[in-house]
Structure 1
Amino acid sequence: MENDMQFDLVSPERSLASMDATSVQIPGADGDMTVMADHAPTITTLRPGVLKVDAGGTTHEFVVTGGFAEIGQSGVSVLAERAVARADVTQGDMDAMMDEAQDSYDRAKAAAQGDAGPVDDAAKLLADMVAVGSEIGLSPKQPNL
């Protein structure tokens, strides 16, 4: 269609999606953004969240934990650290993602030596993971801050 753009989602394990999309909602590190055809070229980092793709009258949702999105003339390419179709995320998956975020926070806190920046970043990651769990209807573990 005339207002469609190419969308590709790739994680280190595999290619998860490649389709013509009408719009893509991206959980950007600086805030959510919606990309449509003819969007200005942009590169943004991702925060943990739900990436939503409108394609052919259907919305496809993916849980991402970070990565990058490149928006260009031909469409959107997302390179995710981890990406799973929302429908495939189990409570065990959510628990594992929370454990990784908690471990990252604990390591940052132990290594901080007065530098709050990495600790704040890790705390933000934990908060984002709690928000993801709430958004997709799974119970996030309570973080130990």
Structure 2
Amino acid sequence: MAEKLHFSLVSPAKELFSGEVDHVIAPGSEGEFGVLVNHAPFMTTLKNGVVRILEGDNVTMRLFVRGGFADVTPAGLTILAEEAVDLAKVDAAKINEDLEEAKTKLLSEGKDGPHHGALEAQVDYLTDLKAAVVH
């Protein structure tokens, strides 16, 4: 049996995945990167995007992360995400509702409002999540 990569993805809410896999592809802030067993150690920040878990050439799981860090060590890959969801469990209609609500709040807040930055980040996140669900 071929060696496997130990991979864990954790958000503040819970651990979404922990196990042995063939390959992980993640959205690094400098570009997408892949990790296989025995990868050279490194650490990077993540941008909003999809983490893909592969067994052979098949994607077995897609997780959407909202920022965070990836740490590759001799022990494996650990992703600490600010927020993460399993795309197989996402309700597209709910995302659309949440996105429209966030856009409405952003417009009513105005550019000088105290919550403008947070609302803008929420709209960006929901827009990226919606696109990930479609693909």
Scaled by the length of structure 2, what TM-score is found? 0.73
* Inter-CA distance 19–134: structure 2 relative to 1 (3 Å threshold): same
Query: Amino acid of the residue matched to residue 63 of structure 1?
Result: F
Match of 2:53 in 1: 53
User: What percent of counterpart residues are identical?
Assistant: 31
Structure 1 residue 59 displacement after superposition: 1.6
Question: Which blocks of at least 5 consecutive residues in structure 2 are unaligned?
Answer: none
Distance change (3 Å), C-alpha of 1:135 and 1:19: same
1:80 equivalent in structure 2: 81
**Equivalent-residue separation in structure 1 for 2:69 and 2:35 (angstroms):** 14
Would the aligned equivalents of 1:48 and 1:129 in 2 still touch at CA under 8 Å? Answer: no
CA distance in 2, matches of 1:68, 1:94: 27
CA RMSD of aligned residues (A): 3.0
Q: Cα distance, 1:60 vs. partner?
A: 1.0
Deviations 1:82-102 (A, max 9, x none): 1111111123246547839x8
List alignment gaps of at least 5 residues for structure 1: 112-118, 139-145
Asked whether the equivalents of residues 26 and 32 of structure 2 are also in contact (C-alpha less than 8 Å), the reply is: yes
3-state DSSP class of the match of 2:127? helix
Report the CA distance shift for 1:88/1:97 in structure 2 as closer, same or farther (over 3 A). Answer: farther
Task: Give the Å deviation of 1:47.
Answer: 0.7
3-state secondary structure, aligned to 1:130: helix
- With normalisation by structure 1, the TM-score equals 0.69
SS of 2:132's equivalent in the other structure is helix
**C-alpha contact (below 8 Å) 1:11/1:82 kept by paired residues:** yes
